[in-house]
Structure 1
Amino acid sequence: MRIVFGLVLLAGLALAGFAVYMAQNYIGAYENALKQERDRAIESVPTQKIFVATRAIEYGEQITPEDVKLAHWPKGTLPEDFFDEEKPIISEGEKARVALRRIELNEAFMGVKVSEPGGDAGLTSRLKRGQRAFAIKVDVASGVSGFLRPGDRVDVYWTGRVKVIDANVPDGDVTKLIETGVELIAIDQTSQVDVNNATIARTVTVAASPQQVAALAQAQSTGRLSLSLLGRQDDTVSGAVEVNQLSLLGITATEERAIPQAEQSCTIRTRKGGEVMEIAIPCTN
């Protein structure tokens, strides 16, 4: 009985191995036939290698070498202004491009969907991690006569009236440096940096942290803001700057001196006959 069981088991294993061998041969033949069919399709339809996306790229994202690959594309349906080996989307020594629209996986890159090398997709692509955009109202005087450009850095001064309770602190207008080295990312409604003509702006947009935004909003609502343009190569850091009317005119606040009070003496008058006498008594008040 055991011999019969063993023979049946060996026969089953042999049949199973033969079935696996046949399946492998069938799958291999199918893959070879599919590859040959694809090769014939490529040969029958003229194609050209162009750059396509290897992942979905969102608006404003930088395009890196890992995001692009060459793929065959039918010549009859080539998109306009595509990128290929003669016109690569990423060239050595050039700055990265950014997506001006959403680009899907395996979608061809086109000139209308990406910026020029080193370009941007608006304010959102210029804000660094943790930064916010904030608009400041300016005029001819506070806006440096229209010579501000996106990419410049400015110091922000606040001028307003300070009301204090301490009588020793002078009350009046004061000008104070509240933010230094703030970057401008837009002038009015433009973020283009290649503007050569001076423009009298009504607002400038700065990139700042949430804490700086809160300080600028409070300062703008309680006083007047003025901007001071920094040099392109200036890497100095301004310290605390504050000027009031007294320091502007060089007037030193005098300390009030306490006037010593005369020692008090208390007396009572009594009449004794025709004589009036004064008798000293302790003061009760």
Structure 2
Amino acid sequence: MRAVFGLVLLVGMGLAGFAVYMVNQYMEAQTAQLDRAREVAATAPATIEVHAVSRPLTYGELLTKDDVRIIRYVRDALPAGSFVTEEELFPQGVDVPRVVTLPMLENEVIMANKVSEPGASRGLTALVEPGYRAFPVQGRIASGFGDLRPDDRIDVYWTGRLRDGREVTNLIKSGLQIIAIIGEPGGRTPQNVIVQVTPEEVALLTQAQNSGQLTLALVGTGDVTATGNVTVDNSALTGEQDVVAEPAPVVQERQRCFVIQRSGMTRTEVEIECSE
């Protein structure tokens, strides 16, 4: 009986020791996890609550309170012009919406350069920056190229005839920003777009549309390459050289010399041989 009791005692002590060991291991693991969490929290960038759109929005739509949600954003990477408080986004109250001037994707941070002032008109006046003008441009695009969209940038080429009869194509403006599309898209050509230009560019584009045909070329996203003067005529395609007419030979007239002979009141010119 004593032997059995001693055996039970030994087994109990072993189980108790194993339980203590497992508890210590668990506590050490929990402590290590807490320490790692504290280290991550200490090195993680600070975040801030900021207003973003809750659904995709395109140009001309009204931005209301129902289209806004709060997200957390890295404080040091917050874009300039973001809205942190509701009072900044709707300073005249949530009943006075803003107009979307540039398309935004779902959960995209709302920035001041993508919305109008509160209460602004939904027309083109809300899309044009100060000092610029909205101008309609009708030009050809390649068939099957796709539809141009607001915020795209385009190069405008003019094709027409010069005074000497040559037909040329010139790059007249590069990197113009589209702020609106006229009519429904659908791959038709020509396509009408509204671009944002200076008053001087309005005059240039008006003259170009009245004197020739315009072609629109899409500029790649992020392309800031400076484009110089581009002029192409038929000779660049065919390789033909302009024929320059030889000047006509100069015919020198024979020099003639005269003397005056008088006979009474009569004066007569008599041709004589010229002396060298």
**Length-normalised TM-score, structure 1:** 0.48
TM-score (norm 2): 0.49
